[in-house]
Amino acid sequence: MADVAFTPNLERHVECPRRAAPGATVREVLDGVFADNPRLRGYVVDERGALRRHMTVFVDGRQISDRERLSDRVEPRSEIYVMQALSGGS
Amino acid sequence: MTRSSLLVATRKGLFVAEGAGKAAQLTRAMFLGDHVALAIADRRDGSWYAALDHGHFGVKLHRSANRGETWTEISAPEYPTKPDGFVDKDIWGHDREWVTKGIWALEPALDSDGALWCGTVPGGLFRSTDRGRTWSLVESLWNHPTRVRWNGGGGDDAALHSICVDPRDPRCVVIGVSVGGVWRTRDGGATWRPHTAGMKANYVPPELAEWPEVQDPHHLVQCPSAPHVFWCQHHMGIYRSTDDLASWHELHAPPSSFGFVVAVHPRDPDVAWFIPAHSDQKRTPITGELVVARTRDGGRHFDLLRDGLPQRMAYDLVLRHALDIAPDGEQLAFGSSTGNLWVTDDQGDHWHALSHHLPPIYAVRYA
């Protein structure tokens, strides 16, 4: 089971506590989380299933390379962080 | 004069003003910190809808059944998957993403209870029959052969910003797209025809100037009591149609016909309001004087209304959804990109500032 954490800025809009989820790719892990929390999906990925433009995902400290299919590999004890770019000052 | 609520959608929240005319006051703030693109009230059931753009987290829709006391997130329109091999590139040659990037229009569809129309960036029109619980793309318009030539006006993608539901027949709907022209369906969205005869664009080569899909209507309104009359603030100036969109004729409102907003009196198709900016190149009031242009004779003459508005060093710009008129035809409100909000209860003869301290204002709407 991978450990999945979300940017705290998301918590204001939708509950997304840290949790464990199975899967061999980022897609599989996140789909498992979204299955239990359907509203969260649209905050992280768009209708194509691609990461939203200013969102990013780290697996064990490495930024993923496949933002569209989320095919990056996940190990059983991986730590996954779903993060956002920092906004400007406007 | 009727008591009314005014919904004010801003860069950092949705604000509500209550009371009429000079007695109006800002009373509530909601979604504080969030970009609220627009908010409307559905007068059929009293529901309020707010369109949010969370940036990183995407576009969302919320509905309130109790005038903003509590809100529930509902579905936002989502595009279908682009078919493999389908070529859909923007004017710069980039692949156009079939993703909802903004909500730029939301109106009750009057043909059935709870039905709504929603206009989006990058240009798709959506319809819900269940108060926004589910949405479906109006594919007849999205798949129109000219749609791939729609483009952004200001942003990278086309924006469907105006939806006029015909009071004579709710299956008849007119839309405005920046940049994509003016289109009408008479069969509830099954088929669409362009209605831009008379409009001209000077930002394309002359041979393309009258193409429907290159027209940039900034905002479009239909007179509820005389629905054969439409007014349009176009990128090139002011246009009016008095023959149910068979043709448009250009009008001139000195010293500038450039702007984004238009409002028409609900019972007099000859009375309309605009808020001019200097020009496309200088999107500020002319010589720092903020004015509202009003015609009472169908656009032959325009009066510049100044009373209560700043007349020195004022640089407010009023975006396309940021002017509204109340059903009584007396009250109007507008908000600016610099966070100033004004109201009038005498059709603009006198204006009263409700606030000088709001975030940038995107839209105002009487509830």
For chain A, say whether B169 makes contact (Cβ under 8 Å): no
Contact: B57, A47; criterion CB under 8 Å? no
Interface subset of B 28-67, CB within 8 angstroms of A = 54-58, 60
In chain B, the residue whose alpha carbon lies closest to the alpha carbon of A43 is B57
Which pLDDT belongs to residue B2?
52
In a domain, A77, yes or no: yes
Instruction: Report yes or no: B263 and B272 within 8 Å, Cβ to Cβ.
Output: yes
The whole-number pLDDT of residue B265 equals 98
Q: Which amino acid is at B111?
A: D
- The beta-carbon neighbor of A54 closest among B56, B73, B100 is B56
Contact A13 B54 (CB under 8 A): yes
Rounded CA separation A83/B45 (Å): 39
Query: Domain containing A75: what range?
Result: 2-84
Q: CB of A64 within 8 A of CB of A26?
A: yes
3-class secondary structure, B211: coil
Q: How confident is the model at residue A86 (pLDDT cuts 50, 70, 90)?
A: confident
Residues 6+ apart with CB under 8 A from B308: B342, B344, B350, B351, B352, B353
SS3 of B5, please?
Answer: strand
Phi then psi dihedrals of residue B206, to 5 deg: -55, -35
Domain count, chain A: 1
CA B266 – CA B227 distance, rounded (Å): 10
Residue B348 falls in which region: left (phi positive, over 0), alpha (psi -120 to 50) or beta: left
The pLDDT value given to residue B153:
81
Predicted pLDDT at B3: 57
Contact assessment for residue B75 and residue B59, using Cβ atoms and an 8 Å cutoff:
no
Q: Is B56 in Cβ contact with A84 (below 8 Å)? A: yes
Cross-chain residue pair A48–B97, CB shorter than 8 Å? yes
State the Cα torsion B95-B100-B101-B106 to the nearest 10°: 140
Shortest Cα distance from A1 to chain B (angstroms)?
Answer: 26
Q: What is the domain partition of chain B in residue ranges?
A: 5-366
pLDDT of A82 above 90: yes
The residue behind tokens 């707010």 is: B50
Q: Tokens 């603030």, residue?
A: B233
Contact B58 A84 (CB under 8 A): no
CATH assignment at residue A54: 3.10.20.30
Strands B25-30 and B35-41, bridge-based pairing: unpaired
- φ and ψ at residue B98, rounded to 5 degrees: -90, 75
Q: Inspect the interface and report whether the beta carbons of A42 and B60 lie closer than 8 Å.
A: yes
In this prediction, residue B92 carries a pLDDT of 84
For residues B47 and B44, give the distance between their C-alpha atoms in angstroms, rounded to a whole number: 8
Q: Which two tokens stand for residue B341?
A: 């909000």
Residue count of chain B, please give it. 367
pLDDT at A78 over 80: yes
Report the relative pairing of strands B173-178 and B159-165 from DSSP bridges: antiparallel
Distance from CA of B255 to the nearest CA of A (A): 33
CATH 2.130.10.10 applies to domain B5-366: yes
**Surface-to-core class of residue B36, CB atoms within 10 Å of its CB (0-12 exposed, 13-18 middle, 19+ buried):** buried
Tokens read off for B20: 């009429």
- Name residues of chain B where pLDDT drops below 50: 1
**ipTM (interface pTM):** 0.87
Report which residue type is found at B214: V
**Could you tell me the CA-to-CA distances from B239 to B232, B234, B248 in Å, in that order?**
5, 7, 6
Which among A13, A47, A53 has the least Cβ separation from residue B78? A47
Helix, strand, coil percent values for chain A (each to nearest 5)? 25, 30, 45
| Contact with chain A for residue B88, Cβ under 8 A | no
> What is the Cα–Cα distance from B216 to B196, expressed in whole angstroms?
10
Q: For residues B276 and B258, what is the distance between their CA atoms, to the nearest angstrom?
A: 6
DSSP letter string over B271-339?
Answer: -EEE-B-S-SS--S-GGG---EEEESSTTS--EEE-TTS--SS------TBSEEE-TTSS-EEEE-TTS
The answer to whether residue A74 sits within a structural domain is: yes
Phi, psi dihedrals of residue A42, rounded to the nearest 5°: -70, -15
Task: Retrieve residue B306's tokens.
Answer: 């100044």
> Which of A14, A16, A44, A46 is the best residue to mutate to test the B interface, defined by the most B CB atoms within 10 Å of its own CB?
A46
A85 CA: distance to closest CA in chain B (Å) = 8
Q: Which of residues 92-131 of B touch A (CB under 8 A)?
A: 97-100
Is omega for the bond preceding B217 within 30 degrees of 0, making it cis?
Answer: no
pLDDT at residue number A90: 63
Closest B-chain CA to A40: B57
